[in-house]
Amino acid sequence: MSILIKNGILVNPGGSGTADVLTTDGTVRDAGTPDVLTTDGTVRDAGTADVLITDSLVSVVSPVILNYDADRVIDAAGMYILPGGVDPHVHMHLPSEAGYSSDDFLSGSRAAIFGGTTTIIDFVTPEKGESLPVALEKRMKEAESSLADFSFHVSPVEWRSRTPDEIRECIRMGVTSFKVYMAYKNTVGIDDEDLLKVLKAVGKAGGTVTVHCEEGDEIERLRDHYFRTDPANPRSHALSRPAKLEASAVKKAIGLAAKAGCPLYIVHVSSKESLEHIRQARLNKQPLFAETCPQYLLLDDSGYSGSFEQAAGYVISPPLRTPEDNMALWEALTDGTLNTVGTDHCPFTMKQKKAGADDFRKIPGGAGGVEQRLQLLYTYGILTRRLNFNQMVNLTSTAPARIFGLQRKKGIVEAGSDADLVIWNPDAGSTISAESHHMNCDINIYEGMQVRGRAEYVIRSGRLMIENGKLATDLTPGQYLSRKV
């Protein structure tokens, strides 16, 4: 199938400009030369395309596009053409004591597609004693229903003599990133000694380690303390996981990664204090990447006020912080301290949250967000002038694709890239609500927030998935993405 998108404004990280985009057989065939697209009125490289400059924007009209009889033509006048979103941090069908997270790969990827995300990176969490490659194969089968293309981070939850060999085998199977937890010591977390071993093994194999940074031992002590003093209050969750324990874990992980010579990716940074350690590591030229999430940009710890039902939805780890932390994270997106915006999508229903009605430690941690990521950043980032469109595309698509080995195929619109495209309608407005979202959950932590913009059309692998804001009827599953170091 071929699709011709006409009259839209193409947005890549390096610039924006009006351009027609042609896709054939799941690939972008022609979108002009990205270096042509500029916002300053200067043509740097026009390639072989015909070029017209109007109002400081470059219109790229390729002879290939002009003469091509496409199967489908979409007029994107007044709208933006973006590369499909890449969410580097989602948890579909995640097991917990309260049951699996409420989105499986089908429902969660459907929500992702509605939100303009066409690629997700989930996690493989083996049982104790289980081989990492075996756990990866099982997880690949679980993800076969995904409507988005998908890949994984694999989690070594313990250190065994064969772990280095298993890490190398996972890399041969196409997974180049490995997730470790410094919290949750009683389940999936590992101690500092084993963390260093994982970092050394992954670094030697050419991969990247992603880290959940919280001081697990101290958090467990505080959880027990607050259970004795205020056992049923969701606010006790936040009090038991203070920002200083995230920041100290960030500092420790950075030091261990430097010692091991391993690239590091810090997930869901939530606090101002953590940013200072990240900035210092960058000054030291350490290979380091860092992510935050919309909830840490837009929500704060006032969410833990009120009844259990009002507060339990905000039980996530790390917890929501202060408005001062919100502001610091926005600034870190602008100055490049933070590289990506993921979602940590992991929703649970209120019935599941009530497993902790008498013990806050049993409230399953997690919330949904994969569907609202672009809307939230567009509304509260671009429209407030905290970010520009090119930065948003980089944070939500290009940078995660590059960091995790999907560059040139995902995260950019250019000849030869995968035909993963979002046609963004800037004029649409809506109110976020659990009654209208597409994830399988009766809670939405952004409930009632007014947002602008929506994914009017979403194309994944050259196939229309969303058309005029509605899910297409002829859908095909996404593909497993094998990555290389």
Q: What values do phi and psi take at 355, rounded to 5?
A: -60, -20
Task: Please tell me the predicted confidence (pLDDT) of residue 51.
Answer: 35
Average pLDDT over residues 426-453: 98
What is the model's pTM?
A: 0.93
Task: Please tell me the predicted confidence (pLDDT) of residue 119.
Answer: 98
Domains of the chain with bracketed CATH: 2-83+415-425+453-471 (2.30.40.10), 85-403 (3.20.20.140)
Q: Which two three-digit tokens encode residue 107?
A: 């429902």
Q: Which two three-digit tokens encode residue 97?
A: 């004591």
Q: Please give the full DSSP string across 73-139, using - where no structure is assigned.
A: EEE-TTSEEEEPEEES-B-SS---TT-S-S--HHHHHHHHHHTTEEEEEEEE-PPTT--HHHHHHHH
Task: Please tell me the predicted confidence (pLDDT) of residue 98.
Answer: 94
Average pLDDT over residues 453-482: 96
Of 373, 421, 335, 322, the C-alpha closest to 111 is 373
Give pLDDT tens digits for 159-169. 999 999 999 99
Q: Which two three-digit tokens encode residue 179?
A: 């997730």
d(CA 206, CA 142): 27
- Residue 30 is classified by DSSP as E
The percent of residues in the chain predicted with pLDDT above 70, rounded, is: 93
Q: Which two three-digit tokens encode residue 286?
A: 């350490």
Task: Please tell me the predicted confidence (pLDDT) of residue 66.
Answer: 66
pLDDT over 80 at 411, yes or no: yes
Task: Please tell me the predicted confidence (pLDDT) of residue 63.
Answer: 62
| Integer CA distances (angstroms), 251 to 219, 270, 274, 435, in order | 16, 14, 8, 41
CB 404 within 8 A of CB 88: yes
Task: Please tell me the predicted confidence (pLDDT) of residue 38.
Answer: 40
Give pLDDT tens digits for 263-309. 999 999 999 999 999 999 999 999 999 999 999 999 999 999 999 99
Task: Please tell me the predicted confidence (pLDDT) of residue 444.
Answer: 98
Q: What values do phi and psi take at 395, rounded to 5?
A: -65, -35
CB 312 within 8 A of CB 354: yes
Three-state DSSP string of 290-349:
EEECHHHHHCCHHHHCCCHHHHHHHCCCCCCCCHHHHHHHHHHHHHCCCCEECCCECCCC
Give pLDDT tens digits for 339-394. 999 999 999 999 999 999 999 999 999 999 999 999 999 999 999 999 999 999 99
CB atoms within 10 A of CB 129: 8
Of 2, 10, 1, 18, the C-alpha closest to 423 is 10
Task: Please tell me the predicted confidence (pLDDT) of residue 32.
Answer: 58
The percent of residues in the chain predicted with pLDDT above 90, rounded, is: 90
Task: Please tell me the predicted confidence (pLDDT) of residue 197.
Answer: 98
Helix (H/G/I), strand (E/B), else coil: 62: coil
Strand 463-467 with 470-471, pairing: antiparallel
Mean pLDDT (the chain, rounded): 93
Q: What values do phi and psi take at 476, rounded to 5?
A: -125, 150
d(CA 304, CA 306): 7
Q: What are the residues whose beta carbons fall under 8 Å from the beta carbon of 457, sequence distance 6 or more?
A: 74, 76, 421, 422, 423, 464, 466, 467, 468
Verify cis geometry, omega within 30 degrees of 0, for the bond prior to 477. Answer: no
Q: Which residues pair with 480 in a beta bridge?
A: 150
Task: Please tell me the predicted confidence (pLDDT) of residue 131.
Answer: 98
Q: Which residues pair with 265 in a beta bridge?
A: 210, 289
Task: Please tell me the predicted confidence (pLDDT) of residue 68.
Answer: 81
